[in-house]
Amino acid sequence: MSNEEVVGHLKKMENEAKAIKSEALKFAWHMRGGLSYNDALLLSTDEREIIGKIIKEHMETTKESGMPFF
């Protein structure tokens, strides 16, 4: 690999790490203490996808029902 390829690969990995951290923080916030940030970081890709879908479904239900969301 050239230096440019290595730098590009490292930047991609850094962006992926930031995305995982952001997702973990969102999960911890939505779970209101039911899932800590540290626990969220330990989730597998499949588990993160499933929880993301559950959160999306609940947000849509809340929106459709007109119930308040805080």
In a domain, 36, yes or no: yes
| For residue 3, pLDDT beyond 70 | yes
Residue at token pair 């029902």? 65
| For residue 70, pLDDT beyond 80 | no
Q: What is the mean pLDDT of the chain?
A: 92
Span 14-44, pLDDT tens digits: 999 999 999 999 999 988 889 999 999 999 9
Span 36-67, pLDDT tens digits: 999 999 999 999 999 999 999 988 988 888 87
In a domain, 58, yes or no: yes
Residue at token pair 């590009």? 8
Q: Number of structural domains, the chain? A: 1
Q: How far apart are CA 59 and CA 70, in angstroms?
A: 11
Q: pLDDT at position 22, please?
A: 96
Q: How far apart are CA 70 and CA 54, in angstroms?
A: 17
Contacts for 52 with CB less than 8 Å, ≥ 6 apart = 23, 27
State the DSSP code for 59.
H
In a domain, 70, yes or no: no
